[in-house]
Structure 1
Amino acid sequence: MNTAAFVASGEVRALLERASRAAGTAMSVHDYGRQADPSCIFSHGARAACRYVNAIERGNALCQRDRREAETNALRRGAVTPFICHMGFACVSAPLLEPERGMAVTIGPYCPLEGVEALESDARRGLRAIETHDRVQMPFSLRDIPATSANVFPAILAWMQEGLNALRTALQPAVTPEDASMEDDEAVTKRTRRPVRQAKDDPYQAGLIAAALAGGMPGKARDLVLAALAESRAPARKRAGALRARAIALAAAALEASEQAGFVCEACWDRFPVFIESARASGADQRLAEAVMELLSGIKRGAARTLPKAPEYAELNRLVIGRLEEGITLDEVAAALGVHPTAITHRLQRHFGMSFSEYLGRLRVDKAKELLRRTQLSAGDVARRVGIRDVSNFGKLFRKFERMTPLEYRNQFGSRK
């Protein structure tokens, strides 16, 4: 997949929209490539002031001039480049991928915390430069321009980079051996590899985190957050920064999954810049998990207002997690809850985007990953601990969700004693 097709993919566009929402302001991506005039290939969240100014010919020309200069510098330097546009608004440009690919992203406008009082006067000055008359009243509202710390945007750009790198790997054609297990991993690499159907990509377990919070299980949600943080592939010297970026990406994904489930998350999004500042000050897994959970605590309150049957999710989680090792069927869960099996599947699908079998499979794989990271149990023992008696089936289920064998996972993320 070439760079343009990759950036145009639905998965990348969803990631960029999520980042724009997290930043609380607009985002655009321009392709410089070999073109004399860079083309806009993504735009989201335009602010009222920008829409007004860009409708004026001179205003549009000045906006493009300022943005191009910043994006060109960002691509040349390969670094985040803050700038002030002709309207006095702050923005940030950076390479979207590697600088040589010629893709630049710009986030803004925003108002630095120390410049809030000057925002309107700067905007009026900018208007006088593009209009022929002075205005008594502003022709647009400035309330949708966030006042925030400049430190927020480098953090958002960092997690965007992690997300883009993960998507580049995920969107590669998946070729995995059909019958691999942990014990025969070396042998199966010599076999002919065949494509297998992968589950919907959810690298941060956002759906399970939302379901756990909706079901009144913050402890389970926190375990999922810690597990996702533990799966950072960054080398030791870059681990702290990578963990912060991963925590920000995880929190944004969990909020998005919760919104798709019908939860009220506006207050969480409003607190996102504060969360980013907190994450930047946290270096250890535990402190980052606490910062994420503090932000996501609003999801449960939102769930109570939008899901009249939220208590049912608490019982569902309790039943399935409590009997994970011995195993439990959909019919048994339905009987315990006093509902039809189809009703459970429909509710999980509608609110969390997964069937009962996928929900159960994800819980099993999540528990298996914890055992693989923290113990030296064999694949057969791990499989039995999560309710799977056939080690081959365990290998297939694990690869379906993780795109790697259990042994590969342990080699990457297991504790080394």
Structure 2
Amino acid sequence: MLDLHKIRADFPILTQQVNGKPLVYFDNGATAQKPQVVLDAITKYYSEINANIHRGVHTLSQLATDAYEVSRGKIQRHLNAKHAHEIIFTSGTTHGINAVANGFASLLRAGDEILVSAMEHHSNIVPWQMLCERTGAVLKVIPMNEKGELILSEYEVLVSEKTKIVTVNHISNALGTINPVEYIIQKAHEVGAAVLIDGAQATPHLKPDVQAMDCDFYVFSGHKVCGPTGTGILYGKEAWLNKLPPYQGGGEMIATVSFEKTTYADLPHKFEAGTPHIAGGIVLGTAIDYLNEIGFDAIAAYEHELLEYATQKLLQIEGLRIYGTAAQKTSVISFNIGTIHPYDIGTIVDKLGIAVRTGHHCAQPVMDFFGIPGTVRASFAFYNTKEEIDTFVEALHKAVMMLS
């Protein structure tokens, strides 16, 4: 059981009013709010140990370096990675995907195949399209059904000896579907293909075990797990990270530099060129500690309760259709009401203090599949309440009255 009163007290932003109404924040799929312990950790870094890392012999540099590497170790343990040097700090999920896609440019030939799913975020489509344009590789799509579930029988046909990498999201940002990533990984490995899992939407709701999953790469963003924006993680198996060339050149990622030749540093520094978001990397560890203290089993159970409650309440609204009804899904509900444009609904409920996302959610192919311009998306976190859902449903009734 979660102590909701205590948890909500940890988040200063939840006490404010928006447009004269108490804030109801249901846009957690876009970014999570920050607990006070995270805000305090940011201030502490800049107030007490602000210095560049890995380069200085002075005390502050050593303190900052130690804190940064301690955070790397926390994330290694959180993901159950085998080695700390398999954890690469990035600016976010998009950065991590692009780093891997860029590396694969040296491994692909014309006619090789890359598999993505029909429910991917644009950040897990566009880099692979760009890679195909550079290499002559072919992008193929694992289709989904009307429930928003991947059609695994079609995947089994698509994956072949030509497949070099399969890249799918762990959880769909637009539909909330939890994909069977273990099976996807197993089938890909049977033909020798690598697998990248986009964990941006999964990491706020569950605790990934990259060794048990046996994925080759796993990426996520810090701001979705109550950490700072501009932070993220690329996990890669040691053998794969050693095989791929670095994504960027610059300071820190080198062993030696001359005008004739440069040699690269060992992992993880090979992929961490330049001065990183030091405070962000350190504080990401603080955010992970906070979530683990609450407990991901408790988070998942409570968020499932919110999902079921909200689904039941929303379906009582005449004309409301939910997109994404997979048997396995997390606390995300995408919906439309009749012919009302989702933007109009989002605008009206905002006036009542409620934050939801409207549009295509950077997943235009998903919207095209359903033949719609976009949806209203309500995404719930462990600090939300059933009372907030009731407030939301009441606001939707008002919006329908105004827009019908």
Instruction: Identify the structure with the greater helix proportion.
Output: 1
TM-score band w.r.t. shorter chain = under 0.3
Structure with more strand by fraction: 2
Q: TM-score, normalised by structure 1?
A: 0.24
Point out which structure has higher relative CO (alpha carbons under 8 A, 6+ apart): 2
Q: Please say which structure displays the higher CA radius of gyration.
A: 1
TM-score, structure 2 length as denominator?
0.25
